[in-house]
Structures are given as C-alpha cells and as structure tokens.
Amino acid sequence: MDILGIDIGGSGIKGAIVNVITGELKTERYRLETPEGAKPKDVAETVAQIVKKFSYQGPVGMGFPSVVIHGVCYSAANIDPSWIGTNINELVGKVTGLPVYTVNDADAAGVAEMRFGAGCKFDRGVVIMLTIGTGIGSAVFTDGHLVPNTELGHIEIRGKDAERRASDAARKRKKLSWEEWAKRFQEYLENIEKLFSPDLIILGGGASKESERFIAHLSTRAKIVPAQLLNQAGIIGAAIYAAEQD
C-alpha cells in the first residue's frame, strides 16, 4: 500500500510516497522551503505543490509541528499563531482535494522508528524519541503504545523552554561547537530521565545526521541510540498514520 507522507518542518516541507508495509520510500524525497511565517494558507498551498509533483491521488498523511487532536492544531511554538484552532485536515484537504490525516510531527517520526527503525525490537518498557531540529520534538511509547502530543521540548530548564537552549537551531544561533552544545543537551536529557526513567532514548531529526559528532559526549542510564531512518522518519510515520486512519 503506497501513501504520500508529508513532514512539515520549520525550514522545509518534505514529501515522498511510502510503502507502508515495508517502510520504504517509493520515490525520491521532494523538499520545498517552508513559506515565510508558515501561515495556514501558504503551508496548505505548498503541500498542494508536493501532491502535484507526484501526480498523487489518495489519502495524505501529514506530520505537523504542534499538538494535534482530531486534526485540529492546539499549539504554535514554531508556526504562525493563526494555526491555533485550525482544522488542519479540512484546510489542507480543501486545497489538495484529497483526504488528509494529520499527526504531531515527532509522534510521526516515533511511529516510524518503532515500526521500522531503532525501536522496532522494544515492545516493552518506555521508549522516548527526541527529534532535534528547529525545536525539540518528542514521542513517548510505553510497551509499544504511543502517548501522543507530549511536547517535551517545552519543559522548563533554567527559566526557558528546553528547545530554546538545546535544539539544533539554538546550537547554530549561539555558534556552539558540537561538544559545547552536547553539554546543554546532556542537561536536558538528565531532566527527561528524572521524569520518565526510559529504557531507550532515540535521537532523531535533522541533527541525527551528525550523531557521531555528539553522541559520545552524552551519558544516560537509558540506552541512547541515533535514529535509523534519520530525517525520513517523519514522512514514513505520517504515511503509516494515514494508512491506519483511512
């Protein structure tokens, strides 16, 4: 079964057609810049361009950077505040003419890693997937079941949202070396471990491509591993989500 998965990011909107049985991408990943301001109509029209690129007809799965409950956006940390209260499924569905199913972007990535990647053998205990990019996204699984919309990038550390200190965007903004940034991320991980006592921590998102440059500087009780699907995870997980809803 082949479904179009789309990952809405702070800097780019990526899509590919996915075989949801095997987790393999059936097409090359196609990326467009996220429109400045990431406002609803502009994002929806960008998604429509990706649909057109693939001449695709069918359900669309979409990973979106907010709390998403029954297709409705309830937060806007890295997108325009006008998204709050918007039914994403209806908006993007109207522009594309296709059925759309939206899930939190980190939850999508986590679903993919648990099905086909670094977490596929962990069906017992607590697994936390952290996506490191413009912000920090999180997906929490207990005995293989997703606890949706955890948004652990927004726990408070030193009076700030954790992602303001420890995201990849923060590393770039502060011009930190990977080792310097790892000290900040280590502090974040220590807070995560205090709260959840996970058995496995999976590090994904854009920064996962550089994991060999920082993972040796991190120390956790839980086993800590880089994501296997890297930045394809959000696309794959979004497609899986759509397949299970349609």
Same domain, 204 and 238: no
pLDDT for 9 beyond 90: no
Tokens of residue 202, six digits = 């999976």
Identify the pLDDT of residue 246. Answer: 65
- Local structure of 108: helix, strand or coil: helix
| 21 and 55 co-located in one domain | yes
- Return d(Cα 112, Cα 37) in angstroms, integer: 28
State the residue range of the domain holding 28. Answer: 2-107+233-245
- Euclidean distance between the first and final Cα of the chain, in Å? 12
pTM score of the predicted model: 0.93
Same domain, residue pair 95 and 162: no
What distance in Å separates the CA atoms of residue 33 and residue 45, rounded to the nearest whole number? 12
Q: Nearest Cα to 204, choosing from 226, 188, 186?
A: 226
Residue 85 lies in a domain: yes
57 and 135 in a single domain? The answer is no
Q: Is the model's pLDDT at 116 over the cut of 80?
A: yes
**Residue 77 predicted with pLDDT over 90:** no
> Measured between alpha carbons, how far is 221 from 223 in angstroms, rounded to an integer?
7
Q: What are the tens digits of pLDDT across the range 200-235?
A: 999 998 888 899 999 999 999 999 999 999 879 999
- Are 92 and 148 part of one and the same domain? no
Contact criterion met (CB below 8 Å) for 188 and 162: yes
Q: How many domains does the chain have?
A: 2
Q: Do 161 and 187 belong together in one domain?
A: yes
| Three-class secondary structure of residue 26 per DSSP | coil
Domain-embedded: residue 114: no
Q: Is residue 9 part of a domain?
A: yes
How many angstroms separate the CA atoms of 190 and 20, rounded? 35
Residues 103 and 161 in one domain: no
Classify the C-alpha dihedral 83-6-231-220 as positive or negative.
positive
- Distance of alpha carbon 237 from alpha carbon 117, whole angstroms: 11
- Residue carrying structure tokens 């956790």: 220
- Which residues have a Cβ under 8 Å from the Cβ of 202 and sit 6 or more positions away? 110, 113, 117, 118, 119, 127, 128, 129, 130, 225, 226, 227
Q: Which residues contact 14 (CB under 8 A, 6 or more apart)?
A: 6, 7, 29, 30, 31, 231, 234, 235
Instruction: State the chain's mean pLDDT as an integer.
Output: 95
Question: For position 27, which CATH number holds?
Answer: 3.30.420.40
pLDDT tens string 139-156? 999 999 999 999 999 999
The reply to whether 213 falls in a domain is yes
**pLDDT at residue 194 is higher than 70:** yes
User: Same domain for 82 and 22?
Assistant: yes
- Say what the pLDDT of residue 146 is: 96
